Chain A
Amino acid sequence: MSIAAKANALWEYANPRKFLATSERVLPFFWITSGACLVVGLVWGFFFTPDDYKQGSTVKIIYLHVPAALMAINCWLMMLATSLVWLVRRHHVSALAARAAAPIGIVMTLIALATGAIWGQPMWGTWWAWDPRLTSFLILFLFYLGYVALWEAIEDSDTAADLTSVLCLVGSVFAILSRYAVNFWNQGLHQGASVMRAGAITGTDTEEKVSNIYFYPLLLCIVGFVLLFIALVLYRTGTEIRARRIKALLTRERVNG
């Protein structure tokens, strides 16, 4: 298949019927693999890795903290992409996917903040510090709240999709700006990127990095979270599509009856 044909194949899923059929077929696969990855990764991580010599067993919270934080950001990126698709190509499934993803993003942000607080208490001696990373996550949480609130507030669904999409675009720019502003504003306690760094994975740099003992179960947990996120988004988008259909049916009944 040529690239153009493949690209066309992707747009076929803009058809809700096709999207529902395919997502129903692949959903069990995503549920099962994500469940398996998470169970294996978490059990491996919690019971079969040694305690850190400095952090003791609290280091193991990394298996929830890092994947959740990663997904919190990627969820926003996914919403940005689907919002763009909605604005440009007006596929309803795309807008509904963005709507379905937002609450998942909120939960991921909350998990990252909560596990971070629980981790920070024994390590830094405080539940919360106005550290750039922590602060930007809190701001990201506010952006999610505003986005969801706007979806809920507007009755006409196409208008809501349009307005939230624009908000998502503008919000993304401001989220990045806030990240830099917050970095400028306060130097923090949180360590830098130490998982997804080219040197860290190949082991060429000697700066603080996540040791390989922790890295493999962590990688498994990240994969599990990604798959779980995809499964949840597909599932929730399906629910949104069905809710939209029920609404349309009810309206038709009222008009005809």
Chain B
Amino acid sequence: MIALLLRDLKLAFRAGGGFGLGLAFFLIVTVLVPFSVGPQSSLLSTIAPGVLWLGALLACLLSLDRLLALDWEDGSLDLLATAPLPLEAVVTIKALAHWLTTGLPLVLAAPFLGVLLNLPAPGFAWLVISLLIGTPAMSVIGTFGAALTVGLKRGGLLLSLLVLPLYVPTLIFGAEVARRGATGMETQTPLLMLAGITAATVALLPFASAAVLRINLR
């Protein structure tokens, strides 16, 4: 399992696996927002938590179609499916690798981009906490979507269509935590809901992803 994780991480870092692409996309979205809504700092600081959450979500979405597609193309996915490691563990590791290479950098970059959008001072900690809790769910849900569409020739757009509705609860609670944190309101309820969604998806969705992957590899 650890070998597989290391292999995925190495591939992501070395072989142009799009490690930096998600970050760059996040940066560009954040930079474009003031151009589209105007530079008033009061307006920007109101929408900053939501925009940063949306940017992170889209950046995560962008990297999903590479999650399994490369392994599918060169046949290593078939090898992994016949390996003694259960497929559930394989997809969990894949999701973990995706989170380490996409989710975690987004979390770390978010506060710096928050400065650009004039995020209120108490919001920084909450933004990082909510993203830290929410992004694993995005990776796991995304792995399910990637497993659904892995055999398709033009799966990218379909993948977005399938995954975005599944992201709704995570986005709502995550952005709510960040927004409430930025305005100094209590954040406990949405935070617990967000953590609950992440825990449930991490625990249950790998089974669905593995089932779907088995159907696709049949």
Interface residues of A (CB under 8 A from B): 139, 142-143, 145-146, 149-150, 153-154, 159, 162-163, 166-167, 169-171, 174-175, 177-178, 180-182, 184-185
Task: Using known A-B contacts A177-B197, A178-B165, A184-B193, determine if residue A159 contacts B218 with beta carbons closer than 8 Å.
Answer: yes
Tell me if B215 and A162 are in contact (CB < 8 A). yes
Tell me if A174 and B216 are in contact (CB < 8 A). no
- Secondary structure dominating the interface of A: helix
> Min CB distance, B81 to chain A, in Å?
15
Report A-chain residues with C-beta under 8 Å of the C-beta of B144.
Answer: 170
Interface residues of B (CB under 8 A from A): 144, 148-149, 151-152, 154-155, 158, 161-162, 164-166, 168-169, 172-173, 176, 189-190, 193, 197, 205, 208, 211-212, 215-216, 218
Other-chain contact of A150, B162, B190, B218 (Cβ < 8 Å):
B162
Report B-chain residues with C-beta under 8 Å of the C-beta of A180.
Answer: 169
Other-chain contact of A146, B152, B162, B176, B197 (Cβ < 8 Å):
B162
Tell me if B197 and A171 are in contact (CB < 8 A). no
Tell me if A143 and B169 are in contact (CB < 8 A). no
Report B-chain residues with C-beta under 8 Å of the C-beta of A170.
Answer: 144, 166, 205, 208
Tell me if A143 and B176 are in contact (CB < 8 A). no
> Min CB distance, B75 to chain A, in Å?
19
Other-chain contact of B193, A149, A163, A181 (Cβ < 8 Å):
A181
Q: Give the CA-CA distance A96 to B94 in the complex, in Å.
A: 33
Whose C-beta in chain B lies nearest to the C-beta of A144?
B165
Tell me if B166 and A174 are in contact (CB < 8 A). yes
Tell me if B169 and A174 are in contact (CB < 8 A). yes
Task: Using known A-B contacts A143-B165, A149-B158, determine if residue A163 contacts B216 with beta carbons closer than 8 Å.
Answer: yes
Q: Give the CA-CA distance A167 to B144 in the complex, in Å.
A: 9
Report A-chain residues with C-beta under 8 Å of the C-beta of B169.
Answer: 174, 177-178, 180-181
> Min CB distance, A171 to chain B, in Å?
7
Task: Using known A-B contacts A149-B161, A150-B148, determine if residue A185 contacts B215 with beta carbons closer than 8 Å.
Answer: no
> Min CB distance, A151 to chain B, in Å?
11
> Min CB distance, A111 to chain B, in Å?
20
Q: Give the CA-CA distance A153 to B153 in the complex, in Å.
A: 9
Tell me if A159 and B165 are in contact (CB < 8 A). no
Task: Using known A-B contacts A163-B148, A174-B169, determine if residue A184 contacts B190 with beta carbons closer than 8 Å.
Answer: yes
Tell me if B152 and A153 are in contact (CB < 8 A). yes
> Min CB distance, A99 to chain B, in Å?
16
Q: Give the CA-CA distance A175 to B168 in the complex, in Å.
A: 9
Tell me if A142 and B158 are in contact (CB < 8 A). no
Task: Using known A-B contacts A150-B158, A170-B144, A181-B173, determine if residue A163 contacts B165 with beta carbons closer than 8 Å.
Answer: no
> Min CB distance, B202 to chain A, in Å?
14
Q: Give the CA-CA distance A168 to B152 in the complex, in Å.
A: 19
Tell me if B161 and A184 are in contact (CB < 8 A). no
Task: Using known A-B contacts A163-B148, A167-B148, A184-B190, determine if residue A178 contacts B168 with beta carbons closer than 8 Å.
Answer: yes
